[in-house]
A and B are shown apart, each in its own frame.
Chain A
Amino acid sequence: MSAAIQINDVTKRYGALTVLENIDLEIAPGEFVVFLGPSGCGKSTLLRMIAGLEAVDSGTISLGGDRIDTLPPGKRGVAMVFQSYALYPHMTVSQNMGFGLQNIGVAPRDIDRRVKAAAETLEIAHLLDRKPAKLSGGQRQRVAIGRAIVKEPQAFLFDEPLSNLDAALRGRTRLELAQLHQRLGATMIFVTHDQVEAMTLADRIVILNERRIEQMGAPMEIYQRPATKFVAQFVGTPAMSFLPVSGIEDGARGVTLDVAGAGRVETGVHLPATFARENASLGIRAEDAKVLTPGEDGVPLRVKVVERLGDRAFIYGTLSDGTDFVVEDAGRSTVAAGQEVRIGFDPDALHIFDSAGRAYHHTEGA
């Protein structure tokens, strides 16, 4: 039921505008891959090209070893769940789910069996005779997933399917999707701009930005070792703080940086000799910095806002040179807006970016 997907050198243009350029991607059978990126990065376009709803201008797409980019959408062996669900409004739930099977001439008895089985799985068996207008958003979403399941496709494509649900339902459906993937073991591609969905669902995240793949990797790899400044900025809430670097000095443990507003910062990062030292910057995630106890020596931070989330608090402030900085503190933090606190960094969790945005991290054992 699950098959590998190969995308080779795929390019998509709308007139003079190139939306995707030379995309290469291999997805293993049964893998759950999430396309993540800002609006307009081409992630939905790439998914629609796999589905056959957009033409491929150059390059090839294969599913299970067979080239599919020349086939019509219905012949590709993929099923898609749309953001708007795209249920047929005048058909009942069971007709909606069975329509694709009817079209390929599956016997009515088999259609009935498959529709019922999928409905049981998704707990929508009691809705089979209703029309979409009589369903809630969450129920429609399940029907849309059910319509995909009954086709027993080689790959499932999801185009931001959770974005029309409220926060609570989105969280629950996310879990259910993860369970569904485990149960079916099918290849799934999921498009989203929501990094929480990407982090929680994906075996592998593909980050797209400005026509190309910025980075692909396991969720924690993307989070902890972003390949570029864009990825570092895009993934993680609150966003990583960036400080301008004015000088770099090599040391045994790693380089020591001169940072305006933070003084000399020791890092566990080794930079290659080819590293372009002009316009470099230092990236620090909120949880990799900490508020020091009074009297400890650290970097001064003027606190502007304290955001309390219960289990932890984010402290937003400015360094002495005016650069914005976020640091995480305990939920019971006593820090208040207007105060000046001292902060320290974990040298091994710092990221250094060159002027082109390429990232350098601490390497274990280096």
Chain B
Amino acid sequence: MAESYRRSRWSHALFVVPYLIVFLTLLVFPLFWGMWLSLNKVDLFGGAEFVGLRQYARVLSDPVFHQAVRNTVIFVAVSVPVLVGLGLFLALALNRKTRGAAFLRGLYFSSTILSVTIVTLIWRIVFIPNDGLMALIFAGLGWEPIGFLSTKGWSLFSVGVATVWWCIGLPMMLLLAALQQIPADLYEAAALDNASKGRILTRITLPSIKPTIMLVAVIQIVMQFQLFGQALLMTNGGPAGTSRPIVMYIYETAFIRWDVGLGAAASEILFVIILCAAMLQYWISTRKEEV
């Protein structure tokens, strides 16, 4: 009896077949098909022609792609630390059992459930020239108005503000959950050990939630590299492409100019960039522990 349990049988695989089918058709197949597409010159109506790495050469020599990569890297480099830092600050501030804190937790998280259309609509109202909230504030203070959505530099900044507002809920909730996992007796031991508030934060709290901080950072790097909807709806990548992210470049090449092979090649490059960035972040934050 025990022997038959131990012996592996092909019939056992039937139990995982339903999931395996979904996994293969919806995840593995598109992944490899995308890679294959990036090696072809694809005409939607006429089929594909294998061109080797020529599409990659085209993407990498395209100045518009260079600009999109630069925009995206700057966006990620600024928005991810802000999301992690602000998320941590809110989590620390709201980690208490009062009704006010519970209300504010709900309030800060509520923006996360909105669709990107609503989020960009709200922030267009804030940033739009003449009648927007910022315009009214600037006018009230007697300052020179800024075209937040139409000025170089400010347009990407505005997209970043809307993004942080939209995405802050998840980092805050993950970090709050991590804070609540810290055993209360560690804080009691620290109180008996005469630790100041600053020392408790840096020596007890932050080290205890370090794995979650890392997780939040990796999630946000992966998410923010895929910036698209906010940029499309708020600035349409403008002015002069200064707020065009990589995904928007892919969208424009593959679905507006129907240059599917080129779009696929750009997608693969984005995939590699995200992978490297996430691995780098993971490596940096775990390096010290190995010693």
Contacts and interface: CB of A to CB of B under 8 A. Distances in A.
B203 A88 contact: yes
A103 B193 contact: yes
Interface in B199-232: 199, 203-204, 207-208, 210
Contacts of A87: 189
Contacts of A103: 193-196, 199
Contacts of A60: none
Contacts of A223: none
Nearest to B195: A103
Contacts of B191: 52-53, 72-74
A25 B247 CA distance: 73
Contact of A74 (B192, B207, B208): B192
A84 B204 contact: no
B186 interface: yes
Q: Does more than half of chain B's interface fall in helix, strand or loop, or is it mixed?
A: helix
Contacts of A13: none
Contacts of B190: 88, 99
Contacts of B204: 88
Contact of A99 (B196, B203, B210): B203
A84 B121 CA distance: 52
A84 B192 contact: no
A262 to B, nearest CB: 50
A295 to B, nearest CB: 60
B194 A74 contact: yes
B194 A82 contact: no
B133 to A, nearest CB: 44
Contacts of A5: none
B193 A74 contact: yes
B192 A78 contact: yes
Contacts of B193: 74, 99-100, 103, 147, 151
A151 B194 CA distance: 11
B185 interface: yes
B185 A84 contact: yes
A86 interface: yes
A73 B188 contact: yes
A100 B194 contact: yes
Interface in A41-91: 51-53, 72-75, 78-80, 82, 84, 86-91
Interface residues of A, number: 24
Contacts of A151: 193
B186 A88 contact: yes
Interface in A95-154: 99-100, 103-104, 147, 151
Contact of B188 (A78, A82, A100): A82
Nearest to A84: B185
Interface string B56-100: 000000000000000000000000000000000000000000000
B208 A86 contact: no
Nearest to B199: A103
- State the majority secondary structure of interface residues on A: loop
Nearest to B207: A90
A79 B188 CA distance: 11
Interface string B153-193: 00000000000000000000000000000010110111111
Contact of B194 (A51, A75, A91): A75
B189 to A, nearest CB: 4
B243 to A, nearest CB: 41
A80 B192 contact: yes
A58 B170 CA distance: 44
B93 to A, nearest CB: 22
B179 to A, nearest CB: 15
A86 B207 contact: no
Central interface residue in B191, B193, B203, by most chain A CB within 10 Å: B193
Contacts of B199: 103
A90 B185 CA distance: 15
A104 B194 contact: yes
Contacts of A91: 203
Interface string B36-51: 0000000000000000
B194 A86 contact: no
Nearest to A83: B185
B91 to A, nearest CB: 19
A364 B216 CA distance: 74
A104 B208 CA distance: 22
Nearest to B185: A86
Contact of B195 (A78, A79, A99): A99
Contact of B192 (A88, A89, A90, A100): A100
B291 to A, nearest CB: 12
B202 to A, nearest CB: 11
Given A53-B191, A103-B196, A84 B207 contact: no
A86 B196 contact: no
A104 B194 CA distance: 7
Given A51-B192, A74-B193, A82 B185 contact: yes
Given A51-B188, A51-B192, 15 more contacts: A73-B191, A74-B195, A75-B194, A79-B192, A86-B183, A86-B185, A86-B186, A87-B189, A88-B207, A90-B208, A99-B193, A99-B203, A100-B193, A100-B194, A103-B199
6 contacts: A53-B188, A73-B192, A84-B185, A86-B183, A90-B210, A99-B195
